[in-house]
């Protein structure tokens, strides 16, 4: 089990969250708390960088969906960047690859 670390930084398009470790039933509330503390300007994008995500269960997927709802409520959008193959597979299976915008990396997600 890898501890969860969430690093936040700003890009020209909005906040970028870098998720490291396991996003599961024990750590998903941390993501929700971080997201709720963000400032998102109308029209901006919340980018979630999953390059260092080790594991994601259904609670983690639920937390990502909550982040999406939060971003939309605040007039913005959300994109997932560098989604690991195992997580991308789950997103495809449940159809969430049609709900989230997926990018190969943060640079592509934050390109103006």
Would you write out the chain's pLDDT as a tens digit for each of its 112 residues? Answer: 789 999 999 999 999 999 999 999 999 999 999 999 999 999 999 999 999 999 999 999 999 999 999 999 999 999 999 999 999 999 999 999 999 999 999 999 999 6
Q: Could you state, in order of their start, the residue ranges of all structural domains in the chain?
A: 5-110
Q: Contact, 77 vs 103, CB < 8 A?
A: no
Q: In 3-70, where do the E strands start and end?
A: 5-11, 14-23, 45-56
What CATH number does domain 5-110 carry, 3.30.750.24, 3.40.630.10, 3.40.50.300, 2.60.120.10?
3.30.750.24
Predicted structure pTM score: 0.95
User: CA distances (Å), 53 to each of 12, 40, 44, 82, 108, in order?
Assistant: 24, 23, 24, 9, 18
């Amino acid at each position: 089990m890898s501890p969860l670390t969430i690093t936040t930084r700003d890009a020209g398009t909005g906040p970028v969250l870098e998720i490291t470790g396991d996003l599961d039933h024990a750590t998903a509330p941390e993501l929700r708390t971080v997201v709720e503390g963000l400032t998102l300007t109308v029209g901006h994008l919340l980018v979630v960088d999953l390059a260092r995500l080790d594991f994601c269960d259904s609670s983690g997927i639920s937390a990502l969906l909550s982040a999406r709802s939060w971003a939309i409520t605040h007039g913005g959008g959300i994109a997932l960047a560098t989604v690991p193959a195992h997580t991308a597979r789950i997103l495809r299976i449940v159809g969430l690859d049609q709900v989230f915008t997926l990018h190969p990396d943060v640079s592509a997600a934050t390109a103006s």
